[in-house]
Amino acid sequence: MLPAMPAHPGTPRETPGDAPRRAPAGAAVLREDVTDAIRAAVFEELAAVGFARMSIEGIARRAGVGKTAVYRRWKSKLALVLDLVSAVAAEGLPAPATGSLHGDVRALLEVAAHALRHPVASRVIPDLLVESARHPEIADAIKAALLDSRQGVAAVVVREAVARGELPAGTDPDRALDLIVGPLYWRLAVVRGELPAGYLDGLATSAVAALRAG
């Protein structure tokens, strides 16, 4: 197989598969697109077979790369999943910035509802929660991903609402996330109930009242 021409010929780049091009002195740069393909494959493998039965081989096959391309980046499937959780968290959500607390909460709920109803997410999230009982590292990664006190989207929404005088100073963003996302998570991921028409609108109104009352 001929390696694809790198986009920037001057940069040493990783080739697809397991036969890296000879790089100039210095560390080879790991190709971002290969990394992305592997991450996407991990997500799909997690959904298809779950963490316990997932293998590096299956991931590599699904990503269309060799196993070495995976091991060059992550030493184990646990490391891979931890990194995936962190990457999803770091990517984060764009802060809605609608100009009102209600608008921001409503926008957050829309994104969260979309994510929770996604068939892949709806299998991967419960699976990782089960594994987190066995692997404290997974529990810690999820916690770090979700408790976003400083940079997370909840923190931004709260900070802006405080600046507008819609919430009292000192409002805790983690508690805000509990109140905004918790009811929706319970309904979609635990009960697996429906979202009746108008449910998200009402939930946004309720969440704002809950935030102000706390």
Query: Among 126, 151, 163, 168, which residue sits at the site for its own copies (rule: CB under 8 A)?
Result: 126
Residue 102 binds its own copies (CB under 8 A): no
Which of the ranges 10-18, 65-73, 79-87, 202-210 carries the binding residues for its own copies, by CB under 8 A? 202-210
Binding status of residue 171 toward its own copies by CB under 8 A: no
- The window from 9-17, 31-39, 93-101, 174-182 that contacts its own copies (CB under 8 A) reads 174-182
Q: Which residues contact 28 (CB under 8 A, 6 or more apart)?
A: 12, 13, 14, 20
Q: Are 157 and 101 in contact (CB under 8 A)?
A: yes
Handedness of CA 69, 75, 138, 191 (dihedral sign): positive
Burial of 114: CB neighbours in 10 Å, binned 0-12, 13-18, 19+: exposed
Near its own copies by CB under 8 A: residue from 50, 58, 66, 103: 50
Contact 93, 108 (CB under 8 A): yes
User: CB burial class (10 A; 0-12, 13-18, 19+) of residue 46?
Assistant: buried
Place of tokens 């509802």: 113
Residue 195 tokens read as 């979202």
Binds its own copies by CB under 8 A, chosen from 152, 157, 182, 200: 182
Using the rule CB under 8 A, is 62 a contact of its own copies?
A: no
Shortest Cβ 98–its own copies spacing (Å): 19
Q: Decide if residue 208 touches its own copies (CB under 8 A).
A: yes
- If binding is defined by CB under 8 A, does position 210 make contact with its own copies? yes
Residues contributing to the site for its own copies (CB under 8 A): 50, 122-123, 126-127, 129-130, 132-133, 139, 142-143, 146-147, 174-175, 177-179, 181-187, 189-193, 199, 202-203, 205-214
